[in-house]
Structure 1
Amino acid sequence: MDKKTTSRDGTSLAYTVTGQGPTVILVSGAMSTGGTVAPLAQRLADRCTAVVHDRRGRGESGDTAPYAVAREVEDLAALIDAVGGDAALFGVSSGGALVLHAAASGLPVRRAAVYEVPYADHLEGGAAREAAYKEQLGKALGEGRRGDAVELFLRLTGLGEEMIRGARQSPMWAGMEAVAPSLAYDDAVMGDGLLPRDLLAGIAVPVLSVAGGASPEWMRTASREVADTVPQGTHRVLEGQTHMVEPDVLGPVLAEFFAG
């Protein structure tokens, strides 16, 4: 990250800018830094000015207690101001939920796009699962058990126990524990884990909601319902893609939408 700006509460935010064209701020999901969406920024750079940042509590950005979703919306406001006062937003997974909060808040956002925000309305036992995760995550982080918090998140995503044990032995584990406290931030952004219909109904800008054709049916249904609930919604399905979408497939779809 080669640039810095400061959010309203004094938190330092690290970001980079690449490309030319309409400005788009890319928002990563849980357990990730801006580096996760950097390949997508490169894919957009020939048609868009792509802004990649480390969300608060991650990478080269700072953090200021106490956390609130409104503080991360203010972070996006600071970034928009830093890059010219006008931008579109894209968010992946729980980062998409943050983008939808920002779009509903009245920020100067031209358009918003999201990829597979994991609202669990159509996942069997989804509401109960989300509530249990919230309680267990809060306890683990409150007791300083970062590794256990990471394990809880990996189980939530469906990773098997053998793969979780392998992850604990991998070189990546230290980095995962480093950003573990931010899992509480994504949990807050997701609320009760269900589609926030009133919030979405208040979004006044065009919204593109994208899903992978090879993703679970509950996730694809949630993606479609985001588009159906916002007043100016469009839904796209990328055949053969999963939650780990390929930038070369997603990039052209986003570039076309943002250019509009």
Structure 2
Amino acid sequence: MTEYATSADGTRIGYDREGAGPPVVLVAGAMQFRAFDPTTRELAHLLAGHGFDVVNYDRRGRGDSPADPPITLAQQVEDLAALVDVLTEGADDAVALVGNSSGAAIALAAAAAGLPVSRLVLFEAPLDEDEGPGGAEFLDGLRARIRAGDHDAAVEFFMRDMPPAWLAAAKAGEGWPVMTSIAPSLEADAEALAWTQSAPRADLWRGIRAKALVLVGSESLDLMHAAADSMVRALTDAERGTVEARDHRWEPRTLAMAIAAFLVD
């Protein structure tokens, strides 16, 4: 049954919680939320079976976390703070964050903002070069389409750097109306990616003391490898790993085993 945390501005954030042990929050990427993402639900269940207290939540503007736009990165951090409070019951305990794709950038922003983060697992964050202009330009382009109310164009624009076949398959599938319905929430994903280029990453992430595992798939796009190398260089304590995955998609059992091994190390 869906439970709810209340964010700083009163927005209710829907989540599932399973298991017992060290707390873990799964931070979804661009098109993910619980009713649309059975793969992450399975990952949460498997991690709970490995002995963790796992929260899988609907990010603001999706599923059981409805919210009016604009939806910002700062709000995403506040939402995570509310979930951390739920998991720790106001104690000083720290929580592990597992971020997928652009959700990895949101997890990094939360850690940099001072949330009590014990460890970070970051899977294929699609970052451009350190201090490059691409993120800000991308954010501006996405915002223009969202503000115009053209949600199809917004999702198409968001996916512009992915292989064309991925967009074609998405548009031909039954899930396209769902993807376009959450288009306003993509602004926070783009803002998080732009934030990673807003200053030298080593400076942005200097305050992050949590140990990080930066993961790429065994069959991955070139940009993911370059992004992973950049994150490992910029973070204070990070290691790179590879998991069985292709086309920016992972297998839940394999990823759960990699996460569990890292979190208990």
Fold similarity call, TM over 0.5: yes
Give the match for residue 152 of structure 2.
Answer: 147
SS at match of 1:213: strand
Note the C-alpha offset of 1:221: 2.4
Give the whole-Å Cα distance in 1 for the aligned partners of 2:83 and 2:151.
29
Task: State the AA in 1 paired with 2:25.
Answer: I
Note the C-alpha offset of 1:193: 6.0
Task: State the AA in 1 paired with 2:21.
Answer: G
Alpha carbons of structure 1 residues 258 and 154: separation in structure 2 relative to 1, 3 Å = same
Note the C-alpha offset of 1:57: 0.6
Task: State the AA in 2 paired with 1:234.
Answer: E
| 1:110 aligned onto 2:115 | no
Give the match for residue 222 of structure 1.
Answer: 227
Conserved 8 A contact 2:17-2:56: yes
Conserved 8 A contact 2:127-2:196: yes
Task: State the AA in 2 paired with 1:250.
Answer: L
Give the match for residue 119 of structure 1.
Answer: 127
SS at match of 1:24: strand
Pairs aligned (count): 255
Note the C-alpha offset of 1:113: 1.1
Give the match for residue 44 of structure 1.
Answer: 47
Give the whole-Å Cα distance in 2 for the aligned partners of 1:13 and 1:53.
7
Conserved 8 A contact 1:7-1:74: yes
Give the match for residue 184 of structure 2.
Answer: 181
Unaligned runs of 5+ in 1: none
Cα deviation, 1:173-197, whole Å, max 9, x if unaligned, reads 2111110111111111111664733
Alpha carbons of structure 1 residues 68 and 136: separation in structure 2 relative to 1, 3 Å = closer
| 1:29 aligned onto 2:29 | yes
TM-score (norm 1): 0.89
Conserved 8 A contact 1:23-1:50: yes
Q: Which runs of 4+ in 1 moved over 6 A?
A: none
Conserved 8 A contact 1:202-1:230: no
SS at match of 2:96: strand
Give the whole-Å Cα distance in 2 for the aligned partners of 1:189 and 1:196.
13
Alpha carbons of structure 1 residues 93 and 198: separation in structure 2 relative to 1, 3 Å = same
SS at match of 2:262: helix
Among 189, 198, 207, the alignment partner of 2:203 is 198
SS at match of 1:13: strand
Task: State the AA in 2 paired with 1:111.
Answer: R
Moved more, 12-21 or 89-98: 12-21
Unaligned runs of 5+ in 2: none
Give the match for residue 82 of structure 2.
Answer: 78
Task: State the AA in 2 paired with 1:10.
Answer: G
Conserved 8 A contact 1:18-1:49: yes
Note the C-alpha offset of 1:70: 1.9
Give the whole-Å Cα distance in 2 for the aligned partners of 1:131 and 1:73.
19
Give the whole-Å Cα distance in 2 for the aligned partners of 1:21 and 1:259.
11
Moved more, 47-56 or 229-238: 229-238
Cα deviation, 1:27-78, whole Å, max 9, x if unaligned, reads 0001221353212112212121211000101111032555432221111110
SS at match of 2:98: strand
Moved more, 201-210 or 31-40: 31-40
Task: State the AA in 2 paired with 1:82.
Answer: V
